[in-house]
Amino acid sequence: MILLSLIKRNFKLYFGDRKRILFSLMGSLIAVVLYLLFLKTNIQREWNNIDSGMQLLDYWLMGGTIAITAITTTGDALHQRIYDIESKRMNDLMMTNASKSIIDMSYIISAAIIGLMMQIIVYIILTGLFMLLDQIHFDLSIFGQLIGAMIIGSVVWTLFNMIILMFVKKESVLPSLNAIISSSAGFFAGVYMPLGFLSGGASKLLKFTPALYDASMLRNILMKSQLEESFHDVNGQVLEDFKATMGLKINGLANSMGSMLVCGLFIGMFFVVFVLLTGLSKKTK
Amino acid sequence: MLEVNGLTKRFKNKIAVDHIDLKINEGQLVSFLGHNGAGKSTTINMMIGLLKPDAGSIILNGLTPGDKGYNDSLGVVFQNSVLDKFLTVEDNLKIAGRLYKKYDENFQKDLLDKLEIKSIQKQKYGDLSGGQRRRVDIARALLSKPKLLFLDEPSTGLDIQTRNKIWEVLNEFRHKMGLTIILTTHYLEEANQSDWIYVLEKGKIVASDTVDNLKVMYAQNKLTIYTNDLATIDSLSKYDGTISNDNKVILNINSYREAIKIIQEFQNNIDDFEYVHGSMDDIFITLTGREIK
């Protein structure tokens, strides 16, 4: 009941502020604008020989953009904790029957749900946009799998952002932090440039971060049927090469399940770090 | 009800609260009086468990801060407004209420009536005037039916009507529910109605007593007599601490009876007189050497 009320409060504060939602979405939708204006024709030129290459590229971009959405919106939602600390709102919350850990849990759960909702919204916007522009199909059969992947993405990034924000005490740091995270998110998720186009060192580095796996998990789900259709008459090796270049196959994991497992490992790792940090901050108080 | 012993808090090299002892009984209205930086808010923050003391103990009905249930009997009105500015008054109070295990919706409705909040319920908290916001803060603090209410400078910057309204409700709670109130204030008239006063200066308690006793000890009642009779001025000047100036003599008086006696004795030679009670201002200046405002 107490946890539910706190979550409800976080929702009201987040969804009650239209500017906050807009800027939150801008972080990810800017990638789409850049793609449409500059990248689409360039990347597409390379894909001339692929059947329905344009549609394939659209799904690929959607996967990356949804991953960025998870990164930026969960962070934005978690900023509420910093606002509450700085405005002393937290002191008042602490006077109630809600304990510190329940209050922290409420921020985490709210951020994960908000992240999921925003990913769904971005998915709907992009599907609508590409249905209009490139006549892509809306595939209801992948919806369950997609939601599962979005939930995993939401949890990974909520924990990641929570760990980073545990070191932040002041609201004034947030805009700069936001700028760093949202601009690097596009790069780490391999949205601005496919993994195969990067230098060996850079692509190796990316393979140790969860962003790429989150994007890969979503892309594998979104692109699956289009890939089967487009590469139907082509040698299997070509498809494998394509997957490796476009970041759908990382470290030998060539399907959504593999990436999901890696994301699961990151969740476990971040959770342990979070618990350790929470314990440490309690001790130093 | 609340007992504090040797409470001490340092911030870097500065000592904010220096070995403070307090004893507060149930139903009392207790004021902490002091300049900015005297240690009032730091003391309160330790008593409500937000700040960990460096030394000393705080015991509230057998519990210490951090114990389960310590906060249950507390209500706090913070110095600054701390509710959600983007939410309506109604949402703010509803959310706050549901964060308590014992949430009484009817009691909340009653509070809204008493503090005249109903008409502003749908407004955003951030859009309210200072006085309206303060009334909502008080309602928020009373939501959980606290036994002990901390008010950290509750009426700073408020108009007299709002101050009166707030005290009307608080006094009703004191009488009906035996609410204990600990108050920090800059307003001497607010401190005047207290059962007990602690005067703080540089983190230390420099005086602690009832208003009346403090007045006897640190503030003198003054009798001013106007006369043109030089013999009367001469006779009155023999009293301790008398100041005479042209046709005016100011005497320090301990009680009204003493004043009547003097007036009767010199009644044929007196043109006029004034009798003024010693004030909290006098107490404060005597104890700290500075005016409070």
Predicted confidence (pLDDT) per residue in A208-233, tens digit: 888 888 988 999 899 888 878 777 77
Residues 6+ apart with CB under 8 A from B224: B248, B249, B250, B251, B273, B274, B275, B276
Chain B residues 77-106 within an 8 A CB cutoff of chain A: 78, 80, 82-84, 86-87, 91, 95-96, 98-101
Confidence of residue B149 (pLDDT cuts 50, 70, 90): very high
Sheet holding B14-24, edge to edge: B14-24, B2-11, B55-60
Measured distance CA(A266)–CA(A268) in Å, rounded? 5
| Biggest alpha carbon–alpha carbon distance for chain B | 75
More confident residue, A187 or A180: A180
Say whether residue B71 is in contact with chain A using an 8 A CB cutoff.
yes
Half-sphere exposure (CA, 13 Å, Cβ side) for B135? 26
A83 pLDDT above the threshold of 70: yes
- CB contact at 8 A, A71 and A25: no
Of the segments A105-109, A237-241, B132-136, which one has the largest average pLDDT value? A105-109
Q: Other C-beta atoms within 10 Å of A67: how many?
A: 33
Instruction: Please report which confidence band the pLDDT of residue A34 belongs to, taking 50, 70 and 90 as the band edges.
Output: confident
Q: Which residues of B touch A88 (CB under 8 A)?
A: 78, 80, 82
Could you give phi then psi for residue B153, rounded to 5 degrees?
Answer: 45, 65
Q: Which residue has the higher pLDDT, A123 or B218?
A: A123
Judge whether residue A236 has pLDDT over 80.
Answer: no
Contact (Cβ atoms closer than 8 angstroms) between residue B83 and residue B158: no
Give the nearest partner residue to A96 out of B84, B87, B99, using CB atoms: B99
Question: What is the percent of chain A where pLDDT is above 90?
Answer: 36
Query: Which residues of chain B are within 8 Å of residue A98 when distances are taken between CB atoms?
Result: 99
Q: How many alpha carbons lie under 13 Å from residue B68 in its C-beta half-sphere?
A: 0
Are A16 and B72 a contacting pair at CB < 8 A?
no
Given a cut of 60, is residue B22 above it in pLDDT?
yes
CB-based contact B140 A92, cutoff 8 Å: yes
- Cβ contacts of A17 on chain B, cutoff 8 Å: 86
Q: How far apart are CA A119 and CA A66, in angstroms?
A: 5
Query: Are the Cβ atoms of A92 and B76 closer than 8 angstroms?
Result: yes
Tokens of A228: 């089967």
User: What pLDDT is recorded for position A14?
Assistant: 92
In angstroms, how far apart are the furthest CA atoms of chain A? 67
Calculate how close chain B gets to A92, using CA atoms only, in Å: 7
- A107-116, A175-184, B139-148, range with greatest mean pLDDT: A107-116
Give contacts of B 29-68 with A, CB under 8 A.
48-50, 52
pLDDT of residue A175: 86
Backbone angles phi, psi at A193, to 5 degrees: -150, 130
Do A137 and A128 contact (CB within 8 A), yes or no? Answer: no
Which two tokens mark B49? 């468990």
How close does chain B come to A271, measured CA to CA in Å?
26
Query: Is the distance from CB of B7 to CB of B19 less than 8 angstroms?
Result: yes
- B33-92 pLDDT, tens digit per residue, is 888 888 888 999 999 988 889 999 899 888 888 888 788 888 999 988 889 999 999 999
Average pLDDT, chain B: 86
CB nearest A97 (choices: B76, B84, B99): B99
ipTM over 0.90: no
What's the pLDDT score for residue A148?
A: 94
Q: Per the CB < 8 Å rule, is B71 touching A96?
A: yes
> Most B CBs within 10 Å: which of A19, A20, A88, A92, as the mutation test of the B interface?
A92
Distance to chain A for B69, nearest Cα, Å: 8
Please report the residues numbered 70 through 129 in chain A whose beta carbons come closer than 8 angstroms to any beta carbon of chain B.
87-89, 91-98
Tell me which chain B residue has its CA closest to the CA of residue A7: B95
The tally of domains found in chain A comes to 1
| CB count in 10 Å sphere of residue B11 | 11
- CATH 3.30.70 residue ranges in chain B? 220-277
Chain A partners of B98 at a C-beta cutoff of 8 Å? 1-2, 5
Lowest mean pLDDT among A17-31, A259-273, B46-60, B263-277: A17-31
- From the list A2, A17, A87, the residue facing B99 with the nearest CB is A2
Question: Nearest chain B Cα to A12, which residue?
Answer: B87
**Top-confidence range, A143-147, A261-265, B247-251:** A143-147
* Mean pLDDT within A259-273: 89
The chain B residue lying nearest A2, using CA atoms, is B99
List where CATH 3.40.50.300 sits in chain B.
2-214
- Assess A285–B contact: CB distance below 8 Å, yes or no: yes
What does the pLDDT read at residue A285? 47
Kindly state the average pLDDT of the residues A186-195.
Answer: 78
Q: Which residues of A touch B95 (CB under 8 A)?
A: 5-6, 8-9, 12
Look at residue A156 in the predicted model and tell me its pLDDT.
Answer: 95
Model confidence at A283, in pLDDT bands (50, 70, 90)?
Answer: low
Residues of A in contact with B96 (CB under 8 A): 92, 96
The stretch A257-263 carries a mean pLDDT of 83
Identify the pLDDT of residue A154. Answer: 95
Q: Which domain holds residue A43?
A: 2-284
Architecture of the domain made up of B2-214 = 3-Layer(aba) Sandwich (3.40)
Both structure tokens of A111: 């951020």
Chain A residues in contact with B100 by the CB 8 A cut-off are: 96-97
Which residues of A are less than 8 Å from B75 in CB distance?
95
Give the residue from chain B lying closest to A91, CA to CA. B50
Are A12 and B87 a contacting pair at CB < 8 A?
yes
% chain B with pLDDT above 90: 20
A60: its two tokens = 């690929």
CB-CB neighbors (< 8 A) of B49 in chain A: 94
Q: Is residue B293's pLDDT more than 60? A: no
User: Is the CB of residue B108 less than 8 Å away from at least one CB of chain A?
Assistant: no
Average pLDDT over residues A72-89: 92
- How high does pLDDT run on average in chain A? 86
* Three-point CA angle A101, A103, A104, nearest 5°: 65
**CA-based nearest distance B23→chain A, Å:** 22
CATH number attached to the domain at B220-277: 3.30.70
pLDDT at B291 over 70: no
Integer CA distances (angstroms), B12 to A23, A281, B9, B41, in order: 40, 19, 10, 17
Residues of chain B with C-beta less than 8 angstroms from the C-beta of A95: 48, 71, 74-76
Say yes or no to pLDDT of A19 above 60. Answer: yes
**pLDDT at position B206 over 90:** no
Model confidence at A123: pLDDT above 50: yes
pLDDT class of A118 with cuts at 50, 70, 90: very high
Instruction: Kindly give, in sequence order, each residue whose CB lies less than 8 Å from that of residue A110, ignoring residues fewer than 6 positions away.
Output: A6, A7, A10, A11, A14, A77, A80
Q: Which residue has the higher pLDDT, B140 or B254?
A: B140
